[in-house]
Amino acid sequence: MNEPAETTEELNAEQQDAWEQLEQIVAAKDSEAARSYLKELPPGEDARVMAQLSDAEQHEFIALLNDEDAARLMESLPEIQAGQFLSTLPPEKAALIFDEMNSDEQVDLLDQLTEEQSEAIIEQMDPEEAENVRFLAQYDSQSAGGLMITELLSFEDSQTVDDVVTELRQNAEEYATYNVQYIYVINADEQLVGVLRLRDLLMAPPGRRLNKMMIANPTSVLDSTTLQDLQHFFDSHPLFGLPVVDADQKLVGVVRREDVEHAGEEQAGRTFLRFAGIMGGEELRSLPLKIRSARRLSWLSINILLNIVAASIIAMYEETLESVIALAVFLPIVSDMSGCSGNQSIAVSTRELVLGVIRPRDWFHVFRKELGLGLVNGIALGILLGGVAYLWKGNPYLGLVIGGALALNTLMAVCLGALIPLILKGFKLDPALASGPILTTLTDMCGFFLVLSFAQALLPWLT
């Protein structure tokens, strides 16, 4: 074990390595130091460093970098963080940084801005880059068109292996920034007719024509293909990229495995936040308090209404509650425990939906599976809590009321929790957003009702 003093010193030294050092660089306006600082930062550390700087310091830091370095930095930050930063820059400066980015990154980041902000930036961009961005921006960002890159290598089918190799050698510098895994073969109408892997070129005799060796009629996707379909495709096909064609079979871009997986990760992050009631976009703590508070409250204010509706059941049984005040102790336990049991079912259904193991129409299969589990767990938990109630007040009827209510409510929560995500998904709603609140409102109401109505029925034996 280190001595405490030493540990603290080490921690301080480490912190010094991070953003405090950067603050000194910014204060000294040292451009050279800023560049080498960025270069030596451990991977993943840049996001954290930027989050710690104030808005003004961030601007001063970016001013020290050239546009290309600034573009690399923006690309490596989480999209929401980069978008937030770019929205605070003057459009002329932002446009210079955008000009240095890859086409798919440009579109992703513009997607983080308001319509107005992104239009102002595009107007200031290099005209050729701007046209390409406008072309890509017409696509839904969660579709093949929105995910694809337009930097690709295509050759006509009448060319030979040697033509390709010569062209590659001559333009080695330009293509160096391309992520080339496949070469696409098109006909005179720019329609996709074949595909070649780089290694096929290496292993083939130089004089062969591309149409003699290409994989003809290659798999391709329409520009409108959804992210989920792309994920399923890459899950079951060991490819690095997939050509994207428009309705006329013309080659318009390439969607790469890494971009699909990255988009899937971003989506999973948003799903997770929505599940916990963060809506209307991601939240980072560097966002202004007004926006953060409003976004969280928009969800909490719905939730408080649902809670009041559920608790009004208790208000209807005030007299019963007054006679057996011990019930008030168990009401929150029954409602919370049923919520937990139901949430487990929601999680398993959501996960199975994502894995593709179930579809909404499999609801009866799911219901049958949960019925048995709800019975077993309901009885187990009912005996446990009923036993506690009995031992506490020495009244077996109190145990019966509490245990019976929890058992029945658990059974209901487990089945409902399993089915709600399927129903929402069947109606094309987002299961992550709505499943939790719907479930807990129902289980709260039902739990309060079961405890209090059982108590009313057995009132003579409880008092």
DSSP state of 101: S
Q: Which residues, numbered 310-339, are part of the site for a copy of itself (CB under 8 A)?
A: 310-312, 314-315, 318, 321-322, 325-326, 328-333, 335-337
**Residue labelled with tokens 């005030």:** 318
Q: Which listed range, 28-36, 106-114, 129-137, 346-354, lies at the site for a copy of itself (CB under 8 A)? A: 346-354
Please spell the DSSP secondary structure of 141-195, one letter per residue. Answer: TTBHHHH-BS---EEETT-BHHHHHHHHHHTHHHHTTS--SEEEEE-TTSBEEEE
Q: Which is nearer to a copy of itself, 6 or 119 (CB)?
A: 6
Q: Which is nearer to a copy of itself, 19 or 121 (CB)?
A: 19
* Cβ 115 to a copy of itself shortest distance, Å: 26
* Cβ 139 to a copy of itself shortest distance, Å: 22
Residue 56 within binding range of a copy of itself, rule CB under 8 A: no
Give the three-state DSSP class for 365.
Answer: helix
Neighbours of 195 (CB within 10 A): 22
Please spell the DSSP secondary structure of 235-257, one letter per residue. Answer: HHS--SEEEEE-TT-BEEEEEEH
* Cβ 265 to a copy of itself shortest distance, Å: 7
In 54-95 the beta strands, taken as DSSP E runs, fall at none
Q: Which residues, numbered 140-159, are part of the site for a copy of itself (CB under 8 A)?
A: none
Residue 351 within binding range of a copy of itself, rule CB under 8 A: yes
Q: Which listed range, 86-94, 120-128, 341-349, 397-405, lies at the site for a copy of itself (CB under 8 A)? A: 341-349
Q: Which is nearer to a copy of itself, 216 or 309 (CB)?
A: 309
Q: Which residues, numbered 82-141, are part of the site for a copy of itself (CB under 8 A)?
A: none
Q: Which is nearer to a copy of itself, 126 or 336 (CB)?
A: 336
Strand arrangement of the beta sheet that strand 215-216 belongs to: 154-156, 182-186, 192-197, 215-216
Residue 354 within binding range of a copy of itself, rule CB under 8 A: yes
Q: Which is nearer to a copy of itself, 191 or 463 (CB)?
A: 463
166 vs 151: CA distance, rounded Å? 19
Choose which of 65, 362, 404, 449 interacts with a copy of itself (CB under 8 A). 362
Strand arrangement of the beta sheet that strand 251-256 belongs to: 221-222, 241-245, 251-256
Residues 172-191: x where in contact with a copy of itself by CB under 8 A, - otherwise, as a string: x--x---xxx----------
Q: Which listed range, 109-117, 141-149, 186-194, 271-279, lies at the site for a copy of itself (CB under 8 A)? A: 271-279
111 vs 89: CA distance, rounded Å? 16
Q: Which is nearer to a copy of itself, 113 or 333 (CB)?
A: 333
Choose which of 34, 94, 201, 245 interacts with a copy of itself (CB under 8 A). 201
Q: What are phi and psi of 228, to 5 degrees?
A: -65, -40
334 vs 340: CA distance, rounded Å? 10
Residue 39 within binding range of a copy of itself, rule CB under 8 A: no
Q: Which residues, numbered 419-448, are part of the site for a copy of itself (CB under 8 A)?
A: 440, 444, 448
User: CB pairs under 8 A, 24+ apart, for 135-143?
Assistant: 136/103, 136/104, 136/106, 136/107, 137/107, 137/110, 139/223, 139/224, 140/224, 141/107, 141/108, 141/111, 142/226, 142/227, 142/263, 142/267, 143/223, 143/224, 143/225, 143/226, 143/227
List CB contacts of 151: < 8 A, sequence separation 6 or more.
102, 103, 177, 178, 179
Residue 252 within binding range of a copy of itself, rule CB under 8 A: no
Total of residues contacting a copy of itself (CB under 8 A): 120
* Cβ 107 to a copy of itself shortest distance, Å: 17
Residue 235 within binding range of a copy of itself, rule CB under 8 A: yes
Q: Which is nearer to a copy of itself, 45 or 129 (CB)?
A: 45
Residue 411 within binding range of a copy of itself, rule CB under 8 A: no
Residue 459 within binding range of a copy of itself, rule CB under 8 A: no
95 vs 67: CA distance, rounded Å? 10
CB 130 within 8 A of CB 99: no
Q: Which listed range, 113-121, 128-136, 244-252, 309-317, lies at the site for a copy of itself (CB under 8 A)? A: 309-317
